[in-house]
């Protein structure tokens, strides 16, 4: 499989077809101001085109390197594995620690030893062996009803308190965001206590887990529940959604509580996940790929992430957007995400063991 000169994707499969595996959108990002191209770089992205376009346009303008993008909601890691040495992918952009480590486990990533990346990205948000690097973080928070929830502080452990029985909305326990949260609970409290906690949260669910994070906030708005679990950036998606004004109403009905891993004096901040990047194992444009990765970790790109995507940049030197600042300050859990990633399998097993996805009455 290869990219054509104009950035469109041409498929050359050896006994394997793309149909039924995933749906892709191919985008070419090239600046009209670029007179002489300095080559190209091919990106496989789980991140939606409208989020990455401003970053790639700025990179091309600065370097002259054309960015070819294949976007898909799922299946890109599997696709890279199937393509093997013939893969055109140079860089993989992902939306979760599970996919970052999954790329390594599937053997489609190679390490990058870069002092620039080490200097730009805090240690907790990059692989110690250089296989993956975080770009932005998002906190897994509680969206609480402004009318029905009076408290302004909460811990993750408190979500299992019987006082919340029938009052919590949450998406599938097997979704990568919740798997990471459960893994963090295992890391902090041990598997036995994490299982007890998950059973308590299940008992407090208002309904069977379903839908995305925004659907849980809608549940609070409608009165189906008082608390919803979701990622912070969904608040921005709702607050700024002019095409679906009803989502602004959902957002207006809730306040953000930043849960902590602490209880009875136990230290621990708010669980965060991250978007990130890996260098493809067989990157055909390795030098340009590393240039792109270095750019995405730069202050210029981190500012774009903050202002356009309303995520938390991994760079401690880049300010949050004003909208994000309005949600309040919090302390992120300092447990390295690499440690959390190791416990994802156990976390997924706990979801099955407790029957979490069957809902509160099961």
Sign of the Cα pseudo-torsion (204, 208, 214, 215, in order): negative
Confidence of residue 31 (pLDDT cuts 50, 70, 90): very low
Q: In 3D, which of 352, 347, 358, 359 has the Cα closest to residue 178? A: 347
Task: Tell me the mean pLDDT in the region 199-206.
Answer: 98
Which domains occur in the chain, in start order? 2-136+274-320 (3.40.190.10), 138-270+327-358 (3.40.190.10)
Pairing of strands 254-257, 133-145: antiparallel
What is the overall mean pLDDT for the chain? 89
Q: Is the pLDDT of residue 5 over 60?
A: no
Q: How far apart are CA 36 and CA 156, in angstroms?
A: 54
pTM for the full predicted model? 0.86
Confidence of residue 305 (pLDDT cuts 50, 70, 90): very high
Confidence of residue 1 (pLDDT cuts 50, 70, 90): very low
How would you label 336-350 residue by residue, b for 16+ Cβ within 10 Å and e otherwise?
bbbebbebbebbbeb
Task: Tell me the mean pLDDT in the region 42-67.
Answer: 94
> What was the pLDDT predicted at 334?
85
Ranges 41-55, 189-203, 285-299, 344-358: which has the least confidence? 41-55
Confidence of residue 50 (pLDDT cuts 50, 70, 90): confident
How would you label 115-136 residue by residue, b for 16+ Cβ within 10 Å and e otherwise?
eebeebbbebbbbeebbbbbbb
Q: Is the pLDDT of residue 6 over 60?
A: no
Sign of the Cα pseudo-torsion (269, 274, 279, 285, in order): negative
> What was the pLDDT predicted at 186?
96
Question: How much of the chain, in percent, has pLDDT values that exceed 70?
Answer: 88
Task: Tell me the mean pLDDT in the region 328-333.
Answer: 93
Confidence of residue 229 (pLDDT cuts 50, 70, 90): very high
Task: Tell me the mean pLDDT in the region 168-184.
Answer: 96
Q: Is the pLDDT of residue 14 over 90?
A: no
95-132 pLDDT tens trace: 889 999 999 999 999 999 999 999 999 998 999 999 99
157-169 pLDDT tens trace: 999 999 999 999 9
> What was the pLDDT predicted at 222?
98
Confidence of residue 239 (pLDDT cuts 50, 70, 90): very high
Q: Is the pLDDT of residue 30 over 70?
A: no
Task: Tell me the mean pLDDT in the region 77-100.
Answer: 96
> What was the pLDDT predicted at 77?
97
């Amino acid at each position: 499989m290869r990219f054509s000169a104009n950035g469109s994707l041409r498929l050359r499969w050896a006994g394997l077809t793309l149909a039924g595996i995933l749906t892709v959108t191919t985008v070419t990002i090239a600046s009209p101001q670029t007179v002489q191209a300095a080559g190209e770089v091919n990106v496989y992205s789980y991140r939606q085109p409208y989020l990455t376009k401003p970053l790639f346009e700025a990179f091309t303008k600065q370097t002259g390197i054309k960015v070819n993008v294949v976007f898909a909601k799922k299946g890109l890691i599997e696709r890279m594995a199937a393509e093997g040495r013939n893969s055109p992918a140079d860089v993989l952009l992902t939306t979760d620690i599970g996919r970052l480590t999954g790329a390594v486990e599937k053997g489609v990533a190679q390490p990058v030893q870069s002092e620039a990346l080490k200097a730009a990205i805090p240690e907790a948000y990059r692989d110690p062996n250089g296989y993956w690097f975080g770009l932005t973080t998002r906190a897994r928070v509680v969206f609480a009803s402004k009318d029905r929830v009076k408290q302004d502080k909460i811990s993750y452990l408190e979500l299992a308190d019987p006082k919340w029985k029938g009052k919590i909305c949450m998406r599938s326990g097997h979704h990568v965001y919740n798997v990471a949260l459960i893994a963090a609970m295992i890391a902090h409290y041990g598997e036995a206590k994490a299982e007890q906690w998950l059973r308590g949260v299940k008992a407090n669910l208002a309904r069977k887990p379903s839908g995305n994070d925004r659907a849980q906030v809608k549940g609070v708005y409608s009165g189906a529940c008082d608390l919803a679990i979701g990622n912070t950036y969904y608040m921005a998606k709702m607050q700024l959604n002019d095409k679906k004004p009803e989502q602004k109403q959902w957002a207006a009905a809730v306040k953000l509580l930043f849960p902590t891993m602490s209880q009875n004096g136990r230290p621990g901040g708010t669980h965060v996940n991250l978007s990130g990047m890996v260098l493809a194992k067989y990157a055909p444009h390795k030098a340009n790929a590393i240039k792109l990765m270095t750019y995405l970790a730069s202050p210029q790109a981190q500012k774009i992430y903050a202002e356009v995507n309303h995520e938390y940049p991994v760079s401690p030197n880049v300010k949050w957007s004003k909208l994000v600042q309005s949600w309040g300050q919090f302390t992120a859990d300092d447990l390295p995400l690499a440690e959390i990633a190791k416990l994802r399998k156990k976390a997924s097993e706990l979801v099955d063991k407790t029957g979490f996805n069957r809902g509160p009455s099961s």
